[in-house]
Structure 1
Amino acid sequence: MKPNWIFLPALCLSLSACLGGGVSSSDSPSQSQSETSPAGYGGGATTVRFALKSGSQPVTCNSQLSGIGAGQANATLAEGMVYVHDVSLINSRGQEVPLQLDQANKWQFLNLALLDFAGGSCKDKSRDDGDTPVFKPLSGSNSEVVGSAPADNYTGLSFKVGVPVSAKNAKGEDVALNHQPAHSPPHPILGVYWLMWEWQSGHRFMRIDLAPAGGVKRADNSTADRWAFHLGSTDCQADAAIVGGYRCGKPNRFKVSFDRFDPKTDRVALDIQSLFAGNDINRDVSADVGCRSNATDAECQPIFDRLGLRLNESSPGANDGGQPLGDGRDSRVFRVEKIGS
């Protein structure tokens, strides 16, 4: 009997050691947390930087570009402006935390910011493109969104392209943004006249105009000097129940989201080569020279596909035209790159 009593306690002690060791090595909360929630950006005063690129080439006013579109055209940039809103940092728990924009910054109003990569100097004042002058462009260029975020562990970024229908001010009041009186905008960034879209009673969300070498040959054999991409809400009808007074059948706003983004080291690049990859900017067969968000314009389909937007309804009566095709995580036009690259 004595040998058995000696053997059993030894066996139990050995199993306890094995089980105890297994729990501490595989189920440790501290190790699991470190694997799923890497240290990220801590919040506070925050600048989210953007850049306009053509492949790896930085693009500014009148930049000489090559390899653009299906015809690998040479071109210069004539306009490069984008509205973004609802800029948010994504914390390690997957929550989107809105960046509180600096309201003293002249390029920002409520939750909306205007990115002007080319600056007002790109505008040819002698050119009449059908817009009614309201305000002159803001001086200089802007490629940043500036604000603050509460302390947290942030690992990603999201934002939306477009001008929202409305936003809340500091008093909690709804302020019309996309649709508002053309001659009395609530803020100068909404009064830049070549971003107004009076035929749709709204704004152009993106305006990327290129002047291709040799011009744009049209279906009637005439030649235009610019191939223009203008994104904005369409099928807009008056509706007094909506803030701003209009309801648009095709909103044409979309989200961009990155799981990994650090404002200290990263920026967001909008790539012109990718945006126009499916278009020949030396040719145009539609009524508009380029794409102006017209659902019947053949030149629009490739660009909308690359932006992740549905140009037309998926089926009659679906009412999903102008809606995003995904959650914004697979952008083919926007990318994250290191600052200075």
Structure 2
Amino acid sequence: MKKFWMLAPALCLSLAGCLGGGVSSSESPAQNQDASPPQPGFGGGATTVRFALKSGTQPVSCGSKLSNIGSSHANAQLTEGMMYVHDVALITDQGQEVPLQLDQANKWQFLNLALLDFAGGSCKQPNVDDNQPLDGSNSDVVGTAPAGNYTGLSFKVGVPISAKNAQGKEVGLNHQPAHSPPHPILGVYWLMWEWQSGHRFMRVDLAPDGGVKRQDGSGDPKWSFHLGSTDCKPDRNIAGGYRCGKPNRFKVMFDRFDPKSDRVVLDVQALFAGNDITRDDSADFGCKSNVTDAECQPIFDRLGLRLNESQPGANDGGQPLDDGRHSRVFRLEKIAS
């Protein structure tokens, strides 16, 4: 390709002149971004990062009937769909990640953490342990960014161990008594994970037609995916008082993102593509982030998380497999005008 341009400089110049200074190509995003001129992007200010839960192209909400789920192409109903995200940041044309300052008056947000509830309160059981759901649903993260030229987005899935408040004090987030959370989004009962002394970071529960069966004839109505930190032990030296051997938090990154026209989609079909949600012969019906659960390996692979240590003593269990740029379950789509 280089040889062609060296042999025909006059043609190159004449084409540039005729087309107003250059030739663009739809292939440009796949080229080396360092060699490309800076791209015009979002200028900052008030910012809303929109999310959506879908099954393929189908929008999903509480009770949605889904088809073609998992390796058995099952039909199922959504019974739960919630997720925490934190450290949401816009990426400048120079590659710098600038944290979005979240609106603290928004009931779905606290410090650097936001709760996305795609299913809404109607999927919840009332009066469970006296913890009521927040009214309605939420699929947005709302905040502000300083003026800049932003061309990308990054965020992390999960509840961080802690975050600093406006006074600079470290506040424990993932681990605190269920009856006295620092904010209502951390007191939702069905996202508490008391046996791990923390929270479920992501909860997507499906009820397949005919339920979930085991070889011994037993069954359950639901196949549930619950992501959270595991191997947690008390540690008074850190905020929140617990340290977890397998954090199970991961990052998602998009090099090209404009909050005015793009939204982030979590795809249920992609999430469960490697699992048969009508069968389960392990201890749990579904995956509860247990390293001994065979059903967890396919779903962790798709999330880009290492389920267990790569080898004994490596201490890399629960760590991301890459930088988050190649997600198999999250994608961007254009917002309909």
User: Could you state the TM-score of these two structures normalised by the residue count of structure 1?
Assistant: 0.88
Cα–Cα, structure 1 residues 33 and 198, in superposed 2: closer, same or farther, change >3 Å? closer
Deviation string 1:169-201 (CA, Å, 9 cap, x unpaired) is: 000000000001111000000000000000000
- How many Å separate the matches in 1 of 2:298 and 2:60? 22
Is contact 1:41-1:152 (8 Å) kept? yes
| Alignment match, 2:37 | 36
| Alignment match, 2:329 | 333
Is contact 1:310-1:324 (8 Å) kept? yes
| Alignment match, 1:287 | 283
The answer to whether 1:142 aligns with 2:143 is no
Cα–Cα, structure 1 residues 76 and 35, in superposed 2: closer, same or farther, change >3 Å? same
| Alignment match, 1:94 | 95
Identity %: 76
> Is the partner of 1:305 in helix, strand or coil?
helix
| Alignment match, 2:30 | none
The answer to whether 1:253 aligns with 2:254 is no
- How many Å separate the matches in 1 of 2:137 and 2:50? 13
Query: How much does 1:259 deviate?
Result: 0.1
Letter in 1 for 2:70: G
Letter in 1 for 2:214: R
Query: How much does 1:124 deviate?
Result: 3.6
- How many Å separate the matches in 1 of 2:329 and 2:34? 33
Count of residue pairs brought into register by the alignment: 309
Is contact 2:214-2:280 (8 Å) kept? yes
Query: How much does 1:33 deviate?
Result: 10
Deviation string 1:233-282 (CA, Å, 9 cap, x unpaired) is: 00000111111110100000000000000000000000000000000000
> Is the partner of 2:115 in helix, strand or coil?
strand
The answer to whether 1:103 aligns with 2:104 is yes
> Is the partner of 1:304 in helix, strand or coil?
helix
> Is the partner of 2:122 in helix, strand or coil?
helix
- How many Å separate the matches in 2 of 1:244 and 1:219? 41
| Alignment match, 1:214 | 210
| Alignment match, 1:7 | none
| Alignment match, 1:304 | 300
Query: How much does 1:111 deviate?
Result: 0.1
Bigger radius of gyration among the two: 1
> Is the partner of 1:283 in helix, strand or coil?
coil
Letter in 1 for 2:211: G
Is contact 1:291-1:297 (8 Å) kept? yes
Query: How much does 1:133 deviate?
Result: 1.8
- How many Å separate the matches in 2 of 1:134 and 1:176? 23
Is contact 2:174-2:198 (8 Å) kept? yes
Letter in 1 for 2:261: T
Deviation string 1:134-185 (CA, Å, 9 cap, x unpaired) is: 5211000000000000000000000000000000000000000000111100
Cα–Cα, structure 1 residues 296 and 33, in superposed 2: closer, same or farther, change >3 Å? closer
User: Could you state the TM-score of these two structures normalised by the residue count of structure 2?
Assistant: 0.89
| Alignment match, 2:58 | 57
Is contact 1:134-1:183 (8 Å) kept? no
2:201 to 200, 205, 216: 205
Q: Which runs of 5+ in 2 are unaligned?
A: 1-12, 17-21, 23-32
Query: How much does 1:36 deviate?
Result: 2.0
